[in-house]
Structure 1
Amino acid sequence: MTTTSDAVAKVLQGSVDLHCHSGPSPFPRRFDHVEAARDAQERLGMRAIVAKSHHHNTVMDLLAMAPRLRELKTEVYGGIALNSFVGGLNPHAVRMSLRMGGKVVWFPTMSSGRHIECHPEGAGFPTETVPLTCERIDIIDERGELKPEVGEILDVIEETGALLSGGHMYPEYIRQLFQEAKRKGIRRLIVNHPNFVIGAEPEQCLEFVELGAFIEHEVGMYDPEGNMRWDPKSLLEWIERIGPEHTVLSSDLGQKTNPAPVDAYLRVCGALLDLGLPEKDLQRMTRDNPSYLIGLD
C-alpha cells in the first residue's frame, strides 16, 4: 500500500529543513524566504527552515524581511557560506553573521577545490543572473595544516553554538576540519550530501560520525520530479548503514527549475515509508536531529 500524502504530512509535522535555497540569490529561485516558510507552514506544519545561499550571508535578508516573517509560525534562520563572494575564510563576516542570529557556517561550497573539479566553469549549476567571479578557497596551507583563519572561525562557532558544515570540500579536508572542531569543543557538525560532489563513502562518514557529525541527505536528489531522480532505495541503504540517529533529511531545494521543498519531502519520505522505514526514524531525521543541530531543543 502506498502511503498517502496526508499520512506523510502528519508524520512530518514539526520538521526542520536545514538546507533551503530560497531567495534572493544570483541563482534563479522559485520563491523568497518568506514564501518558502509560508509554504512549509501551510502544507507541512514545519517548525523551521534554514535559508542557505552560496553567495551571501542570509541573516541580513531575514532581518530585512522580519515584518513579514513575524506573521508566520514557521521560523526562518540564516547563516553564511565561506566562498569567495564573502571573502572566503573571513572571520569578520562569520562574527557578524553568527552574532546577529545566524545558525550555520558552511565551509567552502562553490569555492572548494572538490566542487570546482566536479563543476568546472559552473557546469551543472544554474546560470547566475549577473556575471560573477568565483575563486578557489582552501582551508589547508602548503604544509598541510589548517590555515590560522580556520581556527578563528571555529572559535566563533564554538562561542555561539552554531552548526558547522563541511561544505563541498574533499572528505580528507572535512575530516581535518572536524578533528580540530572536536578539539575545540564544537558539538554540532554536519556533512551535506556525502554522495554528491563530496564523494565520501559510508565508511568515511562513519568516521565523521565518530567525531560528532550528522550526515545530511537531500530529498531533492531522490525526488522523481526533480532534476536528479536518484533511487530512494539507495537513500534507505545510507540510512541503514549510518543509522537514523546520525542522519538528517533536508531539501536542498528552492531552485526555479526544481520542485518545491514540501513536494519533494512528501514524495521521498512517502517512498521511504513504503520501503519499510519506521515513522519514528523518519521523524528523528526530519524533526529531532535538525532541531538539535540549530539549537531549538
Structure 2
Amino acid sequence: MTTSDTQALEQEARIAEILKGAVDPHVHSGPSIAPRAVDHLELARMLSEAGFAAVVTKDHDYSGVMCATMIQHHFPELETQVFSGIVLNNVVGGLNPYAVEHTAAMDGKIVWLPTLAAENHLKWEVTSGWSHPASTQKIRPASGVALFDDEGRMLPELLDVLDVCAATGLALASGHIHVSETKKIFAEAKRRGVERLIFTHPEDIVGASLEDTLELADMGAQVEHSLAFFLEGSKFRTRTTEELKVFIDLVGPERTILCSDLGQVGTLTPLEGFQNAVATCLALGYSDAQIHAMVATNAADVIGLNG
C-alpha cells in the first residue's frame, strides 16, 4: 500500500468519525411528485450505515410525519431516527395552523414557511428560468401564499402558525420567502416565544446579503446552508467553496448548519453530499469539532433532539 493510499484511508476514516451522530435536517427523499433518487426508507438505511443520528425529510407538497412514524415503528433496528415536517405551500392550504398542529402532534420537527408557493420564489423563478420538475407537468402551477395584508401587517393565520410553533416547540424555518420578510416574521416569532429558528439557504433564492445573514444569526437563528449549492458534483451548484467559508466565518461554526438539500435524481446522494462537505471543510481548515457541530450538534439542538 502506497503512502497516498494510506492517507486516503485515514482521511476516509476521519470523515466517517466526524459524521457519527450527524443530522440532516433538510433532505428531499421520496415518494414525491418530483423525481427522487431515494425514498425515505432507503435514505434511512443509507444514513444508518454511516451512523447518522437523525434525518428530517422535506417535501414541498406534504407533511412526511406519517411515513416517518411508520419507518420508526417497523424498522427499530435503524440507527437513524426519521422525522419530517411541513412546508406551508398550496397543497396543504398555505398558512394552515391546523396542519401545523397535526404535524407537531405526530412528532414533526420543522415547519417551513412557503417555498415553491412563496411570492418571492415565484418572482425568482421568472428571473432564474427554474421551474419545479413536477409543477407544470402533473399539477397546476403554484400560486403565491400571502403573508401580509395590504397594510403590511402579518395575516392572522401566520400569527396563529407562530403561536403553534411556540406552544409545541416546532422549529420555524424561513423557506423561500424574501429575507426582508424573514426578518419581520422571525422578530415576531421571538416575541411570541418561538425558540428554534432556521434561516434557510441565504446563498440562493431568498435575496440575502452577508449583512442580512449576520443580522438573522444575531436574532438567534441558526444559518442553514444547502450543500447542494456549494459542492462539486452537484447539479445545483451555484456557489464556490470559498464562498462557503465566507458564510461560515461570518457567523461562526456554532451558528451554522450544513444540510444536504439533496435526494433529487442525477446528482450527489445526501450521504455523498455530507462526506464531500466534511472533506471540503477539513481542506478549508476547520477542526473536527467545528465540523461536527455544523453537521450534527447544531441541527440536533434546533430540532430538539438534545432537549
Output the TM-score relative to the length of structure 2. 0.92
Aligned to 1:169, the other structure's residue is in SS state: coil
- 1:38 matched residue in structure 2: 45
Contact persistence 2:57–2:82 (CA under 8 A):
yes
Contact persistence 2:21–2:51 (CA under 8 A):
yes
- 2:298 matched residue in structure 1: 289
C-alpha distance 123-5 of structure 1, shift in aligned 2 (>3 A)? farther
1:65 Cα offset (Å)? 3.7
Quote the Cα distance in structure 2 between the aligned partners of 1:61 and 1:271.
Answer: 33
Contact persistence 1:5–1:267 (CA under 8 A):
no
- 2:68 matched residue in structure 1: 62
1:179 Cα offset (Å)? 0.6
Quote the Cα distance in structure 2 between the aligned partners of 1:130 and 1:240.
Answer: 42
1:144 Cα offset (Å)? 0.4
Matched, 1:111 2:117: yes
Quote the Cα distance in structure 1 between the aligned partners of 2:37 and 2:236.
Answer: 17
- 2:217 matched residue in structure 1: 209
- 1:8 matched residue in structure 2: 15
1:170 Cα offset (Å)? 0.7
Matched, 1:246 2:246: no
Kindly provide the CA deviation profile for residues 89-130 of structure 1, in whole angstroms up to 9, marking residues without a partner as x: 011111111111111000001111111111139942452162
Quote the Cα distance in structure 2 between the aligned partners of 1:30 and 1:121.
Answer: 28
Kindly provide the CA deviation profile for residues 253-293 of structure 1, in whole angstroms up to 9, marking residues without a partner as x: 00012210111111122011012111111111111110101
Aligned amino acid, residue 86 of structure 2: I
Aligned amino acid, residue 256 of structure 1: V
Aligned to 2:153, the other structure's residue is in SS state: coil
Aligned to 1:178, the other structure's residue is in SS state: helix
Structure 2: stretches of 5+ with no match in the other structure: 1-6
Matched, 1:194 2:202: yes
Kindly provide the CA deviation profile for residues 37-92 of structure 1, in whole angstroms up to 9, marking residues without a partner as x: 111111x2100000000011111222344444423110011110000111000111
Contact persistence 1:15–1:47 (CA under 8 A):
yes
Structure 1: stretches of 5+ with no match in the other structure: none
Aligned to 1:255, the other structure's residue is in SS state: coil
Kindly provide the CA deviation profile for residues 18-50 of structure 1, in whole angstroms up to 9, marking residues without a partner as x: 0010011111001111110111111x2100000
Quote the Cα distance in structure 2 between the aligned partners of 1:38 and 1:133.
Answer: 34
C-alpha distance 69-51 of structure 1, shift in aligned 2 (>3 A)? farther
Task: Give the one of 108, 119, 135 matched to 1:102.
Answer: 108
Quote the Cα distance in structure 2 between the aligned partners of 1:296 and 1:282.
Answer: 18
Quote the Cα distance in structure 1 between the aligned partners of 2:248 and 2:21.
Answer: 21
Matched, 1:271 2:283: no
Matched, 1:179 2:187: yes
- 2:98 matched residue in structure 1: 92
Quote the Cα distance in structure 2 between the aligned partners of 1:85 and 1:115.
Answer: 16
Quote the Cα distance in structure 1 between the aligned partners of 2:126 and 2:95.
Answer: 21
Contact persistence 1:232–1:268 (CA under 8 A):
no
How many equivalent pairs are there? 296
Q: Percent identity?
A: 35
- 1:162 matched residue in structure 2: 170
Quote the Cα distance in structure 2 between the aligned partners of 1:119 and 1:215.
Answer: 23
Aligned amino acid, residue 132 of structure 1: R
1:10 Cα offset (Å)? 1.1
C-alpha distance 202-181 of structure 1, shift in aligned 2 (>3 A)? same
- 2:235 matched residue in structure 1: 227
Output the TM-score relative to the length of structure 1. 0.95
Task: Give the one of 127, 138, 149 matched to 2:157.
Answer: 149
C-alpha distance 121-276 of structure 1, shift in aligned 2 (>3 A)? closer
Task: Give the one of 16, 19, 23 matched to 2:26.
Answer: 19
Quote the Cα distance in structure 2 between the aligned partners of 1:154 and 1:290.
Answer: 20
Aligned to 2:152, the other structure's residue is in SS state: coil
Quote the Cα distance in structure 2 between the aligned partners of 1:121 and 1:72.
Answer: 43
Report which structure shows greater RCO (CA 8 Å, sep ≥6). Answer: 1
Quote the Cα distance in structure 2 between the aligned partners of 1:121 and 1:70.
Answer: 46
Quote the Cα distance in structure 2 between the aligned partners of 1:133 and 1:65.
Answer: 31
Aligned amino acid, residue 60 of structure 2: H
